[in-house]
Amino acid sequence: MKLQFLGTAASEGIPNPFCKCQICEKSRIIKGKNIRTRSSVVIDDIMQIDFAPEFSYQVMRENIDVTKIKDLLFTHTHPDHFNVGDLFSRMVDYGFNITHPLYVYGNDIAINGCLDVLPGYSHERFVFNLLVPYQSVITSAGYTVTPLLANHAKWEFCYIYLIEKDGKTILHGHDSGYFPELTWQWLKNSGKKIDLAIFECTYGYKQNDRTNNHMSIESVISAQKRMLDEGIFHSSTQLITSHHSHSSGFMHDELVEIFKPYNIEVAYDGLIKII
């Protein structure tokens, strides 16, 4: 499977346009991998997870033909992940020469939110699918997807996703703090081995290895250890951090040095990984 990061920032982006902190100011000058748009990934050019406010810019920057995307998964409906209004451009009479519907997957709030902004949608353009925690589905593009409960917002089911195809397994693990115990138990009891995992790292150091809502540096390292101890990761599992915030206090290269001793990679906008 091919995994491409469209965006790797937390909700404010880096730099935050309304911020004059040291990280934002340095990022404006240094640019490069320090410039982060809001979080989204594309798998094999045909599956997308989350829909960032910078979506149009992201796909132009990476030269991605998004008319090929068949499946769209929403983790939750916070605005940095749920820029659903842009889907209107895929409606009949707005997007032309589209040959297949986009299959959209998410919780009840996400699906109802899509229906609210896409009145009169046609089934030739959109098919909506409600996901239930811990119940696997096979998507239109042939992926086995299991939504697992995240440790995030309390007013909706927020999902991390286990995604399987052709003998490979990816865990898309944000937005979430240290995972809920039900999710840990499901992963352990499933017997599945993860080849590549994405953990978020919105926080910097918190002196807490089981943070709620988002992960700290310590939470990422602690979760990696538990994954290895419980046999969910194998010896060559790739672990990547994303969803980084200016409030963490670290530039990209500094995060790379922090995570290097743990063999954890730090994502940046445009990074491509193949497993």
pTM above 0.75, yes or no: yes
Split at pLDDT 50, 70, 90, the class of 13 is: very high
Q: Which of 76, 40, 50, 74 is nearest to 152 (CA)?
A: 76
Residue 119 CA, chain-centre distance (Å), reads 27
- Residues 12-27 have a mean pLDDT of 98
Question: What is the radius of gyration, based on Cα positions, of the chain?
Answer: 18
Phi, psi angles (nearest 5°) of residue 202: -65, -40
CA-to-CA distance for 52 and 86, rounded, in angstroms?
9
- What torsion do the CA atoms of 40, 243, 150, 203 make, to the nearest 10 degrees? -170
> CB count, 10 Å around CB of 162?
24
Average pLDDT rounded to a whole number, residues 231-253: 98
Average the pLDDT over 193-204 and give the result: 98
* Region at 163 (left for phi over 0; alpha for psi -120 to 50; beta for the rest): beta
Instruction: Give the integer Cα–Cα distance in Å for 234 and 223.
Output: 14
Q: What is the mean pLDDT of residues 181-200?
A: 98
Interatomic CA distance for residues 35 and 252, integer angstroms:
9
Number of domains in the chain: 1
The residues pairing with 233 across neighbouring beta strands, listed in sequence order, are 194
Query: At a CB cut-off of 8 Å and minimum separation 6, what does 170 contact?
Result: 1, 3, 43, 161, 162, 163, 164, 194, 195, 196, 197, 198, 275
The 10s digit of each residue's pLDDT in 88-125 is 999 999 999 999 999 999 999 999 999 999 999 999 99
Q: For 151, list phi and psi in degrees, rounded to 5.
A: -105, 85
**Domain housing 177:** 2-274
CATH number of residue 179's parent domain: 3.60.15.10
What does the pLDDT read at residue 100? 97
pLDDT band of 138, cuts 50, 70, 90: very high
215 pLDDT band (50/70/90 cuts)? very high
